[in-house]
Copies of this chain bind each other. A is one copy, B any other.
Amino acid sequence: MGTDSVGSEQRQPVMADVAKLAGVSHQTVSRVLNGAPHVRADTRERVLAAIRELDYRPNSAARALVTRRSQTLGVVSFDSTLYGPASMLDGIERAARSAGYFVSVTSLRSLDGRSVQEAVDRLRDQGVDGVVVIAPQTSAVSAVARLSSSVPLVAVGSGDQTRVPMVSVGNRSGAEAATRHLLDLGHRTVHHLAGPANWLESQDREEGWRRTLEAAGAPVPSVERGDWSARSGYQAGLRIAELTEATAVFCANDHMALGLLRALHEAGRSVPGDISVVGFDDIPEAGYFIPPLTTVRQDFGELGRRALELLVEELEGVQHSSTRVEIAPEMVLRRSVGPAGRR
């Protein structure tokens, strides 16, 4: 008979308490908890009953200490306020949960390499088992390449200049599809409203657009550049509205397309009557712009999910089916696009 434990129990029950109540050793409790084989059914029952009665919960710090695994994954993202990153985070979290991991997030202050380094270090200090980096700027990617040795790491974004495992959407192919679609409708050429120059997505989309134009022998107009925001799309739109020869614009994302639509509207240029507009992303609102926006859908949630899968495979020692996953985007046709009008 124990000599301890009278009075108002305050402290959380530990494994030993469960063991005592169930009349077994703490190790047996551990076995039950971890689904080890060779535990007799009635013993298991007794242990489970004790666990329930005490409302016992294993101490994760103690477990992490001895197993050297925290069952926690880190995510570093740049601006989780944007629709894309937010959706990826969501996808990552859901996938992580079903794989039995927790998710710890941290966002970047700035997008230089040191900031990425810092974020990953922070996560590592916390003891995460692996890291997903959502940071599609060139500077971030190169930083990632440099530190990938210190902890299992997967990047989500685009570009393939590094050997870091990576999942991305087919930015180039999406841009190509969008541009070709416009050319096929008879537009002589397609203008482009690009994203920030240091984002890989921008670069790839721009390249897809340019290559398609070149392949078709169409003239390549100079690029307008925004910062993904509707505001910047509006400003670029004011400039584009003045190009009387422009009949088609491919925007690097839907938000900028929204701003562009308003600028064109204010300038009295009808869409798609005078100008056709295509976006990229297919945010949930894109179908409710005026007019509804034809765009290139990317499945951010899936992106996050796949990134996490890749990471978990790496962690659990599965041989990578492939260290490079590309998800095909898909064109969504709506009313912001029409045949080239007469000029």
Chain A residues with a Cβ under 8 A of chain B: 57-62, 64-65, 70-72, 79-81, 83, 86-87, 89-90, 93-94, 97, 102-107, 122, 124-127, 229-231, 233-234, 255, 258-259, 261-262, 265, 284-285, 287-290, 292, 301
Give 8 A-B contacts (CB < 8 Å), ordered by A residue.
A61-B70, A80-B86, A81-B86, A81-B301, A83-B83, A83-B86, A230-B285, A265-B290
| A61-B127, A72-B104, A287-B230 as given contacts; A89 in contact with B93, CB under 8 Å | no
Within the complex, the shortest CB–CB distance from A222 to chain B, in Å, comes to 24
Within the complex, the shortest CB–CB distance from A95 to chain B, in Å, comes to 12
Contact, CB under 8 Å: B234 / A288: yes
Contact, CB under 8 Å: B127 / A107: no
Copies of this subunit: 2
| A265-B290, A288-B259 as given contacts; A107 in contact with B90, CB under 8 Å | yes
Within the complex, the shortest CB–CB distance from A64 to chain B, in Å, comes to 4
Contact, CB under 8 Å: B230 / A258: no
Contact, CB under 8 Å: A83 / B81: yes
Contact, CB under 8 Å: B288 / A262: yes
Contact, CB under 8 Å: A61 / B58: no
Contact, CB under 8 Å: A105 / B103: yes
Contacts of A59 in B (CB 8 A): 65, 127
Within the complex, the shortest CB–CB distance from A275 to chain B, in Å, comes to 15
